[in-house]
Amino acid sequence: MFKEFREFAMRGNVVDLAVGVIIGAAFGKIVTSLVNDIIMPPLGLILGRVDFSNLFISLSGKSYASLAEAKAAGAPTLNYGVFINNVLDFVIVAFAVFLLVRGINRLHHAAPPPAPATRPCPYCLTAVPLAATRCPACTSQLAAAQGG
């Protein structure tokens, strides 16, 4: 059973997937930092000095100055500012993945299909080589192949 598991784990797809998950986790941390530390502070400043990570609704009915204060008091809160940050994280990661897949697809553009080597006989529809002047199936005389 160990040998079978080792063969499964060492397949190229599994190793590639593991590398992708590790890189993705690291990329997610970078994007989270980008959103929380670079994008949201200027956006909050533009919108009137709003700290998005501190936007919440206290469900207990009491008023708290910050989310940290509400959590320290054990109050139930609806943290919509953190949700906005997470949505922005997702949008940035999704856009980066879109750009990555788009770039990979451009690298793997398909070659044009090869020119056909046969043509159908107009009488019996058998595939006939392009250079043939007579159909091998119905022996009909064929017009000369058109040069392309």
Say what the pTM is: 0.54
CATH class of domain segment(s) 2-107: mainly alpha
Q: What's the confidence (pLDDT) of residue 146? A: 56
Q: CA 44 to CA 53: how far, in whole Å?
A: 10
Share of the chain above pLDDT 70, in %: 96
pLDDT 10s digits, 85-102: 888 888 888 888 888 888
Map out the domains of the chain as residue ranges. 2-107, 115-148
Burial (CB count <10 Å: 0-12, 13-18, 19+), residue 70:
buried
**pLDDT above 70: residue 148:** no
pLDDT bracket for residue 145 (50, 70, 90): low
